[in-house]
């Protein structure tokens, strides 16, 4: 009997593959296998012999099953390892056909200007794109019945609060008000961001574009200070001489107010669709802060004054890279965007 068990064990241990082992399992442990043979003549045995045979069969069963299971598990683990090796995937390898992205040219220039103004002691503020009527208009000296509201038609929300209805901000100037509410005096701040207007789109006008607001409040701020900062900004961005002109401009929140225009860098002056054939592009309206605006935000205009400007950031990017149509900037067209990669990686 022991021989039978030994040779069954030998057969199990010498199975070379999972398939061989399965055949052996049926032969040895199956219904007609060794164990079944050992039980075959049980009926002819005495009671004591039956007990001894039962014990023997149980021990044999355990030995054979243990040998079988350990070999079965070994084959399974080897199969799994082989499969993992063959299907091994390096998740860090870039997928074929996916090109690394880059910062949008507006973001690149915005960051450059932020760095410049930080170096001049300005804080960089962020404001909400969904604004209150108070911050976007009233606090800037543009009450509900003022014609200046027509210059910036926008998208109104049904909801509102104690500070009036909500709207998509038409300019970054509301962040001036938020700056006056939150920063101690004297203050220097800039606020880049996205603004929205309900207007027809053409080569130089978008419904959604970027501005960069700037404001300085101190004692005895002059137009000379304002012009100094505007010139510093333009020469840092263009890194060359650009022709500008300053002319009076009307904005209810500055007095006096100016329009700073840049000689069109697309056509160089003779006229094109970007400059509406005028040779000049409106870029940087600015002025000294209207005393009413200061007092509306709780600042004493007899003690403090300041300047503010509202750079057309999207237009500045157009001028810097000679982009002849503003619509390229929001097109998401990779043929356009790819051109700005090398510039970014060079920095
Ligand atoms: C304003 O938005 C004022 N808040 C600017 C200001 C701030 C004046 C502080 C004084 C003191 P304006 O509507 O002109 O002004 O817009 C400012 C600049 O944004 C323009 O010079 C122009 O460069 C840009 N801009 C205006 N409308 C568009 C448009 N639809 N698409 C692209 N750029 C525009």
Distance of CA 279 from the midpoint of ligand 1 (Å): 18
Predicted local distance difference test score (pLDDT) of residue 312: 95
Predicted local distance difference test score (pLDDT) of residue 343: 55
Domain boundary among 86, 113, 138: 86
Q: Is residue 346, in this structure, part of any structural domain at all? A: no
| Residue nearest (by alpha carbon) to ligand 1 atom 9 | 309
Question: What string of DSSP letters covers 284-336?
Answer: --EEEEPHHHHHHTT--TTT-EEEEEEEEHHHHHHHHHT-S-GGGGGT--HHH
Residues 71 and 113 in one domain: no
Residues 256 and 164 in one domain: yes
Domain range for 311:
105-340
Residues 16 and 43 in one domain: yes
Ligand 1 pocket mutation pick from 146, 251, 327, 328 by most atoms within 8 angstroms of CB: 251
Residues 281 and 317 in one domain: yes
Residues 81 and 230 in one domain: no
Residues 129 and 160 in one domain: yes
Q: Is residue 91, in this structure, part of any structural domain at all? A: no
| Residue nearest (by alpha carbon) to ligand 1 atom 24 | 312
Ligand 1 pocket mutation pick from 315, 323, 328 by most atoms within 8 angstroms of CB: 315
Residue 156 belongs to domain with CATH number: 3.30.930.10
* Cα end-to-end span (Å), the chain: 85
Predicted local distance difference test score (pLDDT) of residue 110: 97
Residues 182 and 324 in one domain: yes
Determine the Cα–Cα distance for residues 6 and 10; give it in Å rounded to an integer. Answer: 6
Domain count, the chain: 2
Please list every protein residue whose CB sits less than 6 Å from any atom of ligand 1: 171, 173, 197, 199, 205-206, 209, 211, 251, 254, 257, 282-283, 285-287, 308-310, 312, 314-315, 326
How many alpha carbons fall within 13 Å on the CB side of residue 212? 26
Distance of CA 18 from the midpoint of ligand 1 (Å): 77
Residues 76 and 170 in one domain: no
Residues 118 and 9 in one domain: no
Q: Is residue 135, in this structure, part of any structural domain at all? A: yes
Residues 63 and 144 in one domain: no
pLDDT in tens, 235-279: 899 988 888 899 999 999 999 999 999 999 889 999 999 999 999
Q: Is residue 288, in this structure, part of any structural domain at all? A: yes
- Shortest CA distance to 28 belongs to which of 73, 70, 65, 59? 65
Determine the Cα–Cα distance for residues 173 and 138; give it in Å rounded to an integer. Answer: 11
Distance of CA 72 from the midpoint of ligand 1 (Å): 77
pLDDT in tens, 34-57: 888 888 888 888 889 889 888 999
The structure's pTM equals: 0.74
| Residue nearest (by alpha carbon) to ligand 1 atom 31 | 205
Residues 183 and 288 in one domain: yes
Query: For 335-342, which contacts have Cβ atoms below 8 Å and span 24 or more sequence positions?
Result: 337/102, 337/104, 337/105, 338/102, 340/102, 340/103, 340/104, 340/105, 340/108, 341/102
Q: Is residue 195, in this structure, part of any structural domain at all? A: yes
Q: Which residue has the tokens 């030994």?
A: 6
Tell me what percent of the residues of the chain surpass a pLDDT of 70: 98
Q: Is residue 97, in this structure, part of any structural domain at all? A: no
Residues 184 and 309 in one domain: yes
Domain boundary among 86, 114, 145: 86
| Residue nearest (by alpha carbon) to ligand 1 atom 32 | 205
What tokens appear for 56 in the block?
Answer: 């023997």
Under 8 Å CB-to-CB from 131, ≥6 apart: which residues?
Answer: 166, 167, 168, 169, 174
Domain boundary among 86, 121, 142: 86
Q: Which residues in the chain land under pLDDT 70?
A: 342-347
Q: Is residue 140, in this structure, part of any structural domain at all? A: yes
| Burial grade of 32 (CB within 10 A; 0-12, 13-18, 19 or more) | exposed
Give the atom of ligand 1 at the shortest distance from the alpha carbon of 173: 4
CA dihedral 240, 123, 259, 134 (to 10 degrees): 160
Q: Is residue 173, in this structure, part of any structural domain at all? A: yes
SS3 assignment for 137-156: CHHHCCCCCCHHHHHHCCCE
Determine the Cα–Cα distance for residues 81 and 10; give it in Å rounded to an integer. Answer: 26
Predicted local distance difference test score (pLDDT) of residue 344: 53
């Amino acid at each position: 009997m022991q021989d039978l068990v030994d040779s069954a064990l030998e057969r199990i241990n010498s199975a070379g593959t999972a398939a061989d082992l399965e055949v052996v399992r049926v032969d040895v442990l199956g219904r007609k296998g060794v164990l079944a043979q050992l039980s075959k003549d049980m009926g002819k045995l005495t009671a004591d012999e039956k007990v001894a045979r039962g014990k023997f069969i149980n021990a044999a069963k355990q030995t054979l099953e243990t040998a079988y299971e350990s070999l079965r598990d070994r084959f399974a683990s080897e199969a799994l390892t082989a499969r993992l090796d063959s299907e091994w995937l390096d998740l860090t390898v870039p997928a074929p056909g996916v090109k690394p992205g880059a910062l949008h040219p507006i973001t690149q220039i915005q960051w450059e200007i932020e760095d410049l103004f930080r170096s001049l002691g300005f804080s960089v503020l962020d404001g909400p794109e969904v604004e209150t009527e108070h911050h976007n208009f009233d606090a800037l000296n543009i009450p509900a019945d003022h014609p200046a509201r027509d210059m910036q038609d926008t998208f109104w929300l049904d909801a509102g609060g104690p500070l009036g209805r909500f709207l998509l901000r038409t300019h970054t100037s509301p962040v001036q008000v938020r700056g006056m509410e939150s920063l101690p005096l004297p203050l220097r701040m800039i606020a880049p961001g996205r603004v929205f207007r309900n207007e027809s789109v053409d080569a130089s006008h978008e419904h959604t574009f970027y501005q960069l607001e700037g404001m300085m409040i101190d004692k005895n701020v002059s137009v000379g200070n304002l012009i100094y900062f505007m010139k510093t900004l333009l020469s840092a961005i263009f890194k060359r001489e650009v022709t500008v002109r300053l002319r009076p401009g009307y904005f209810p929140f500055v007095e006096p107010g100016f329009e700073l225009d840049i000689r069109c860098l697309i056509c160089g002056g003779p006229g094109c669709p970007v400059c509406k054939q005028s040779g000049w592009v409106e870029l940087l309206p600015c002025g000294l802060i209207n005393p009413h605006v200061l007092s509306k935000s709780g600042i004493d205009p007899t003690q403090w004054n300041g300047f503010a400007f509202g750079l057309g950031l999207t237009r500045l990017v157009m001028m810097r890279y000679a982009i002849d149509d503003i619509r390229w900037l929001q097109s998401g067209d990779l043929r356009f965007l790819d051109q700005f990669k090398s510039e970014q990686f060079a920095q």
